[in-house]
Amino acid sequence: MMNIILLVLTAIALFIYTRVLLDDETEEELYSQVAFYEQHIQKGNSPISISPIIDIKIVATKTPTVLKDTMMYDARQKEIELYREISRTIKSSDRYYQIKIRTLIIESEDIFIGIIISFISVLLIAFVILFFINKSRNEKLWAPFFTSLNKLKSFSLESREPIIFESSNIEEFNDLNNRLNALISKINTDYSNLKQFTEDVSHEAQTPLAIMQAKIENIINKSDISDIQYEEFTSIQKDVKRLTQLNKRLIILAKIDNDQFSKPKTIDLKQLITERVEDFEDISENSFQIDHNSKTTIKMDPYLAEVLINNLLTNAIKYSPSKSTIHIKVDGAMVQVANSGAKMISNPDRLFERFYKENSNKKATGLGLSIVSKICSYYGFTCSYRFNEIGKQHVFQIDFI
């Protein structure tokens, strides 16, 4: 904004200065011409009038010299023009001659337009020249930065390959590269520690839980315990199983966050769902109806693919009425799992959050659908929920494209 105001003020100042210079030059030219014709007449030469530039006539008395602007019709231009006129009376051979010399004045509008056009032309030329100069200089100046940026884009925690940044003659870029090297080194160290922690938790936590589970089973099966003790040990056994399941699911989430599933394979979704349904039919009172409209293959880690389908089916079984039918549909790059329900859940927008449970079902860990969402996010899939009012069904859908 300030640049525009400065340009306008500069144009106005230049206009005024140019106007004054032209007026001074015009007046100087008029005085020179009237002096020339005065000498011409004083030498006894006959005065010559050339309308509308020169007008010489005999007058009765002498009049003072007058310099003024006047409007006159120009027959050649066929329009009224603005002239600057000087009028002077001289005496020659006992006669008074009035000499009027006129010159055409450049109109202010023409001057202003000329200045504006000159300004715009100069600015455009300067802009084009500066643009290409700055572009060339900026490309050379920022080349080390974009080189470092491209190397950062290709950085992967799994590769473990160090990033070597190019040195630059710009101190700030060198400082940036040093900071990035330090940051990457810390990230690699933290990642290694976190990965090791995940593996340790997976190994160390599962073992005591399995031992606890085995000892509880031994007590229940071999000891002579009362009914009250049996109920208490059974409750503890269920809590241990739930804790074991919770630990496994937290480990899965941590591994996904740590990008430890980087070996995708082509999975036949129809075959995977069929195998998982056969397993669930042996342990569930619910029946399953599978609708395969086409063969669908997806590329992902086989273990995560199995976890994805398992969690969808487990969720449907947990929240379905006993002996109801769970509908599974595979169509192109989409899979749907629908289970019966009386009404839509209260908070569908929170359904895929960690530890969120729609009801107080103690069997649920609140992580099943969260893992589904995490896996979909990891591979760029889309998971969604809707309630079918007509069929009274909770419908979970995953789009693989």
Sign for the pseudo-dihedral over CA of 251, 255, 261, 267: positive
| H-assigned helices in 223-321 | 227-257, 269-283, 302-318
Phi/psi zone of residue 392: left (φ > 0), alpha (ψ -120 to 50 degrees), beta? left
Q: Which of 124-133, 257-266, 372-381 has the least mean pLDDT?
A: 257-266
Give the mean pLDDT of 238-247: 76
Q: What percent of the chain lies above the pLDDT cut of 90?
A: 3
Query: Does residue 199 carry a pLDDT above 70?
Result: no
Give the residue with greater pLDDT, 51 vs 54: 54
360: phi then psi, degrees, rounded to nearest 5: -95, 40
Report pLDDT for 65.
85
Find out whether 47 and 41 touch, Cβ atoms under 8 Å: yes
Mean local confidence (pLDDT), 375-393? 87
DSSP for 105-154, written as a single string: PPPHHHHHHHHHHHHHHHHHHHHHHHHHHHHHHHHHHHHHHHHHHHHHHT
User: Cα(107)–Cα(84) distance, rounded to whole angstroms?
Assistant: 11
Rounded mean pLDDT, 90-98: 83
At what angle are helices 2-42 and 108-153 packed, to 10 degrees?
150
Rounded CA separation 28/192 (Å): 90
| C-alpha triplet 287, 289, 291: angle, nearest 5° | 170
Burial class (CB in 10 A: 0-12, 13-18, 19+), 361: exposed
